[in-house]
């Protein structure tokens, strides 16, 4: 017999997920209760994610590989093209557009003075370090292998106030380095919570990126 309190707690937790309203949370909770084994499988999956997923030491996307993620270690991807995104989920969107075969760097947000988020709260220092190491032929890894020289940094950030502020900041910070800085064609949101842009639109925005 389930206590009503336990069910309400589950609904409350599901309701906290982005995009899940109270009604959907209820539907999901009853579905979990009704479906044999589902609760166990969900628990296992959540535990595994908790135990094994961490940030890639180089691009800061999520990975369950020991150190670097599969994008960073993929030798078939161009090491001289770097696509900068706000969130790890944005990588999936760029990937499904199918037009980008370089490496990534995740900022984990965008500059937002209103929310007290400044450059120091994002992975901007690490981005500069990657660009600098490549230009100087220095190594960033334990292997001692020199970091690849980056010739272009593509800013695939959202076309909102925070995205624009971050683009301006990065363009200025990268201006004195021997690297081309581009931004994906304007007006195309790539944020994971904005799902109405289809893959082809994002693909075109990447192909028609503009130099800053």
Q: First vs last Cα of the chain: how many Å apart?
A: 63
Binding status of residue 184 toward Zn ion by CB under 5 A:
no
> In this structure, what are the phi and psi dihedrals at residue 159, rounded to the nearest 5 degrees?
-85, 50
Cβ-proximal residues to 55 (8 Å cutoff; 6+ apart), any chain: 61, 62, 63
> In this structure, what are the phi and psi dihedrals at residue 56, rounded to the nearest 5 degrees?
-60, 135
Binding status of residue 58 toward Zn ion by CB under 5 A:
yes
> In this structure, what are the phi and psi dihedrals at residue 19, rounded to the nearest 5 degrees?
80, 0
Report, in Å, the least distance between residue 69 CB and Zn ion. 3
Binding status of residue 69 toward Zn ion by CB under 5 A:
yes
Binding status of residue 82 toward Zn ion by CB under 5 A:
no
Nearer to Zn ion, 125 or 200 (CB): 125
Binding status of residue 83 toward Zn ion by CB under 5 A:
no
Which strands make up the sheet holding 81-85, listed edge to edge? 103-106, 81-85, 152-155, 180-183, 210-211
Binding status of residue 91 toward Zn ion by CB under 5 A:
no
Q: Which stretch binds Zn ion (CB under 5 A): 10-18, 65-73, 108-116, 191-199?
A: 65-73
Nearer to Zn ion, 59 or 206 (CB): 59
Binding status of residue 157 toward Zn ion by CB under 5 A:
no
The C-alpha angle 153, 180, 128, rounded to 5 degrees, equals 50
Binding status of residue 97 toward Zn ion by CB under 5 A:
no
d(CA 210, CA 159): 14
Binding status of residue 131 toward Zn ion by CB under 5 A:
no
Nearer to Zn ion, 56 or 153 (CB): 56
Report, in Å, the least distance between residue 22 CB and Zn ion. 37
Report, in Å, the least distance between residue 187 CB and Zn ion. 28
Cβ-proximal residues to 134 (8 Å cutoff; 6+ apart), any chain: 80, 146, 147, 148, 149, 150
Binding status of residue 56 toward Zn ion by CB under 5 A:
yes
Binding status of residue 72 toward Zn ion by CB under 5 A:
yes
Q: Which residues bind Zn ion (CB under 5 A)?
A: 56, 58-59, 69, 72
């Amino acid at each position: 017999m389930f206590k009503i309190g336990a069910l309400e707690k589950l609904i409350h937790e599901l309701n906290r997920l982005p995009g899940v309203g109270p009604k959907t949370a209820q539907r999901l909770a009853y579905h979990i209760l009704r479906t044999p084994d589902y609760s166990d499988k969900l628990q296992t999956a959540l535990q595994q994610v908790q135990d094994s997923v961490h940030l890639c030491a180089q691009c800061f996307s999520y990975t369950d590989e020991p150190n670097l993620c599969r994008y960073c270690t993929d030798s078939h991807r161009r090491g001289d093209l770097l696509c900068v995104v706000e969130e790890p989920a944005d990588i999936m969107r760029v990937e499904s557009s199918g037009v980008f075969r370089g490496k990534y760097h995740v900022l984990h947000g965008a500059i937002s003075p209103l929310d007290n988020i400044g450059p120091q709260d994002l992975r901007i220092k690490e981005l500069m370090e990657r660009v600098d190491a490549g230009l100087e032929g220095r190594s960033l890894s334990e292997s001692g292998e020199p970091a690849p020289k980056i010739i272009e940094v593509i800013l695939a950030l959202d076309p909102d106030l925070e995205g624009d502020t971050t683009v301006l900041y990065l363009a200025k910070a990268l201006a004195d380095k021997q690297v081309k800085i581009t931004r994906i064609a304007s007006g195309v949101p790539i944020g994971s919570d904005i799902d109405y842009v289809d893959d082809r639109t994002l693909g075109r925005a990447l192909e028609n990126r503009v130099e800053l």
